[in-house]
Amino acid sequence: MLTSQGVAKHYGDHIALAPLDMVLERGKILGLLGPNGAGKTTFLRMVTGITRPDQGVLRLFGEPHRRDHLRRMGYLPEERGLYKGMRVAEQVLYFASLRGMSRTDAQHALKGWFERLQVEGWWNREVADLSKGMAQKIQFIATVLHRPELLILDEPFSGLDPINAVLIRDEMLRLVREEGTTLVLSTHNMGSVETLCEEVLMLHRGHKVLSGRVDEVRETARKGRIRMTFKGNLMAFVDQLGPRAELLSHESEVLASGETRHEVALALPEDWSMSALLRWAVDHVEVLEAVPVRMSMEEVFVQTVEANGS
């Protein structure tokens, strides 16, 4: 669906995007992450044909990037606006016509979207009268009305209240599931990355610093962290553990039976797997539970940025 082979862009001496390799398959949701100025917008502008790569090959729908691919794409930039002095429907229909949609098709589709996003009755409203959240919904409709196969949304939830954010999120998921739309989501909202995205691509200072499936990324980034619950003597356990693993935190609870239950978070070195730890631990304490800790995307994000220098 979307392939980048060594695509790069620089402005003068500033490297906006170092050669980037990536592949996004049809029907997937990709989270495009990175701190401000990481090169996300630079990349998206090249995908949407607003700018051209200095080098590398960008492929869309299995073909080298062409201008007439643009009508099969929907782009909601982070910096977005609407024309003042136009009415809501008129404006959305204008964008649809620029993308080659016939007026009747566009009107029909628009009616459907007005119902789904619960904005019936806004048809003839002046754009100037819309609140930020309302304008956001209209911009979303303008982005998806022509049924794009590739949908690129830059911070789609900013400015939306929780109820409308859920409404838009559900519509995004519906498009992916029912229409097979491929979605690129550029956001700083890590919660939405966890709930929505299957894959992530993280950029930092123009370089790719992380990519892969979300669950794998969270798994890999945990760096041997596990949480273990056991009964027994905590002090003795820690003593015997020694420098083999790092104790990150612990909590203790006295049970009704008079025994004490401890919950510890540990960071294991690379040469010590969780099963090795368990084999060692059963000789010293009564292990009740042990689970690998999955890092939140937020932690992954911060850790990756720190590891690559902020």
- Interaction site with another protein (CB under 8 A): 11, 45, 48-52, 54, 67-68, 70-73, 75-77, 79-86, 94-95, 97-102, 105, 139, 142-143, 146-147, 149, 179-180
- How far is Cα 18 from Cα 42, in angstroms, rounded to an integer? 11
Contact 264, 247 (CB under 8 A): yes
Cβ-based nearer residue to another protein, 160 or 264:
160
3-state DSSP helix/strand/coil percent for the chain, to nearest 5? 40, 30, 30
- Positive or negative, the CA dihedral 172, 175, 176, 181 is negative
Contact 249, 231 (CB under 8 A): no
Cβ-based nearer residue to another protein, 150 or 226:
150
CB 129, min distance to another protein, A:
15
CB 146, min distance to another protein, A:
6
Cβ-based nearer residue to another protein, 129 or 251:
129
Q: Which residues make Cβ contacts (< 8 Å) with residue 90, sequence separation at least 6?
A: none
Token pair 């902020």 in the structure block, residue: 310
Tokens matching residue 125: 């409203």
Cβ-based nearer residue to another protein, 53 or 224:
53
CB 22, min distance to another protein, A:
20
Cβ-based nearer residue to another protein, 97 or 273:
97
Between helix 297-307 and helix 214-221 the angle, nearest 10°, is 60
CB 156, min distance to another protein, A:
13
CB 51, min distance to another protein, A:
5
- How far is Cα 139 from Cα 74, in angstroms, rounded to an integer? 11
Cβ-based nearer residue to another protein, 153 or 295:
153
Q: How many CA atoms lie within 13 A of 142 on its CB side?
A: 26
Token pair 């979605």 in the structure block, residue: 183
CB 199, min distance to another protein, A:
22
Cβ-based nearer residue to another protein, 91 or 304:
91
- Rg of the chain, C-alpha, whole Å: 25
CB 92, min distance to another protein, A:
11
